[in-house]
Amino acid sequence: MSYTEAKAKYAALGVDTDAAIERLKSVPVSLHCWQGDDVRGFDTDPTKPLTGGIQTTGNYPGRARTPEELMTDLDRAISLMPGKVKLNLHASYAIFEDGEWADRDRLEPRHFRKWVDFCKARGLGCDFNPTFFSHPKASGLTLSSPDPEIRQFWIDHGKACIRISQYLAEELGEPCVMNIWTGDGLKDVPADRMGPRVRYREAIDEILSEPFDFNLVKPCIESKVFGIGVEAYTVGSAEFALSYAALNRDRCIPLMDNGHYHPTEVVSDKIPALLAFFPEIALHVTRPIRWDSDHVVLLDDETREICKEIVRCGGLEGRVKIALDYFDASINRISAWVVGFRNVQKALLAALVTPNDALRQLQDEGRFTELMVRQEEMKTMPFGEVWAEYCRRSGVPEDGQWFSEVCAYEDEVLCKR
């Protein structure tokens, strides 16, 4: 079947595939720099393990060890991705020049100048994350610490990150989503669950008291259910993060990571629930397996369902900030980036070529038998042709044509590291 034939099939359902392709081209999806180097960053000892309730496993060859290597790898990956990429950086990816080094509470916009140059040269926007982990002062609680000095250090880090986010947004002319996530929590039964939460709330208040333009900087609060080493208690739980965002709607938005809920909960259902109240929300798209495992995003049912909700709820018009968040060190990292990014693009495109209005009408008219039939029939529509056309029009390889490029890059570049 050709694209023209596929287009006609969709047109018979009232779907304009050309319009869907055009629409998707301008939707930013944030690409996490941390898949390229197993979340190590450049500001701490690279031999030290990742801390803060997250972990990478695997030692596939070719991890990026320097900013230059990471940038080269990002370029290779981005060249295989259709759609609009936005870069997503962590504070730990600061680039120090001339032997200088600054601790997290002293980071300045100039430490990200090289990233700004990188983004400008490629027309990319940039999102940002304070890094409250993998640091000597992050061995226990951070923003919720009972130790005022530790807490102040991390508050100062958060404030520095607000200034850096404002700088990124101003320089690149695209809003910067700045996500606050800490791994703060306890391994075993707490004696005080509320104290750390009150301190966390006050610490975020202080961070967000740093002046910024809410049109340019979008601070987010990301919740989590548990992490490695903090199995019993997470300070920034779902209720905590959501309540904070709800009561501070003029300065922050909630962020849901679909690896951060109990296994039978689905973020797809939470998207419309939150959009009924919040003008904007943010997502980390990942793939949980049994727990927060941060596997590469596949084109699975929940990824498709998440993207359907984004599209149907008007999320593409800026209300939903989409970012990827996973890290697999056991496979080729360029491939991991490309597979996950392309799968989110596929799921979004599939949602865009779904006759959403007609299906909604069936629901509203109570025609549930037909609704089931139509929804099931969508699954065997010739979507592959529309996807291939989208890749061609975006100037990137179709499925079946990009993996050999990754293999060549592995031989020529990655294996020599």
Nearest distance from C-beta of residue 343 to ligand RNT, angstroms: 18
Give the burial string for 211-246 (b: 16+ CB within 10 Å, else e).
ebeeebbbbbbbbbbbbeebeebbbbbbebbbebbe
Answer for which of 86, 197, 284, 342 binds ligand RNT (CB under 6 A) is: 284
Closest C-alpha among 246, 315, 256 to residue 282: 256
Query: Which residue, 76 or 90, is less far from Zn ion as judged by CB?
Result: 90
Query: Is 354 an interacting residue with respect to ligand RNT (CB under 6 A)?
Result: no
**Site string (245-274) toward ligand RNT, x via CB under 6 A:** ------------x-----------------
Assess contact for 258 and 285: CB atoms under 8 A: yes
411 is catalytic: no
Query: Which residue, 255 or 359, is less far from Zn ion as judged by CB?
Result: 255
Which residue is catalytic, options 37, 38, 280, 325? 325
257 is catalytic: yes
260 is catalytic: yes
224 is catalytic: yes
Query: Is 73 an interacting residue with respect to ligand RNT (CB under 6 A)?
Result: no
Nearest distance from C-beta of residue 367 to Zn ion, angstroms: 39
**Site string (64-103) toward Zn ion, x via CB under 5 A:** ----------------------------------------
CA distance linking residue 183 with residue 198, whole number of Å: 16
CA distance linking residue 78 with residue 341, whole number of Å: 9
Answer for which of 181, 261, 383, 409 binds ligand RNT (CB under 6 A) is: 181
Tell me which DSSP letter residue 398 carries. Answer: P
Answer for which of 73, 156, 174, 292 binds ligand RNT (CB under 6 A) is: 292
Query: Is 54 an interacting residue with respect to ligand RNT (CB under 6 A)?
Result: yes
Q: Which string of DSSP letters, residue by residue, matches 162-213?
A: HHHHHHHHHHHTS-EEEEE----EESS--S-SHHHHHHHHHHHHHHTTS---
Query: Quick one: tokens of 283?
Result: 């997502």
Which residue is catalytic, options 184, 210, 292, 385? 292
Query: Quick one: tokens of 408?
Result: 């060549």
Q: How many residues bind ligand RNT (CB under 6 A)?
A: 11
Query: Is 410 an interacting residue with respect to ligand RNT (CB under 6 A)?
Result: no
Beta strands 217-222; 253-257: pairing state: parallel
Virtual torsion, Cα 307, 309, 314, 319, nearest 10 deg: -80
What is the three-class DSSP state of 218? strand
Query: Is 257 an interacting residue with respect to Zn ion (CB under 5 A)?
Result: yes
Which residue is catalytic, options 37, 222, 280, 309? 222
Closest C-alpha among 383, 343, 406 to residue 82: 343
CA distance linking residue 155 with residue 159, whole number of Å: 6
With CB under 5 to 8 Å by kind, the binding choice for 38 among ligand RNT, Zn ion, none is: none
Query: Which residue, 82 or 259, is less far from ligand RNT as judged by CB?
Result: 259
Nearest distance from C-beta of residue 241 to ligand RNT, angstroms: 12
Query: Is 325 an interacting residue with respect to Zn ion (CB under 5 A)?
Result: yes
Assess contact for 153 and 203: CB atoms under 8 A: no
Query: Is 222 an interacting residue with respect to ligand RNT (CB under 6 A)?
Result: yes
Query: Which residue, 135 or 284, is less far from Zn ion as judged by CB?
Result: 284
Q: Which residues, including other chains, have CB under 8 Å from residue 167's CB and lie 6 or more apart?
A: 109, 112, 116
Nearest distance from C-beta of residue 19 to ligand RNT, angstroms: 33
Give the burial string for 397-410 (b: 16+ CB within 10 Å, else e).
beeeebbeebeebb
The dihedral region occupied by 343, where left means phi > 0, alpha psi between -120 and 50, and beta the remainder, is alpha
Which residue is catalytic, options 135, 159, 284, 346? 284
**Which residue numbers are catalytic?**
181, 222, 224, 257, 260, 284, 292, 294, 325
- Residues contributing to the site for Zn ion (CB under 5 A): 257, 284, 325
Name the residues that contact ligand RNT, by CB under 6 A: 34, 39, 54, 129, 181, 222, 224, 257, 284, 292, 325
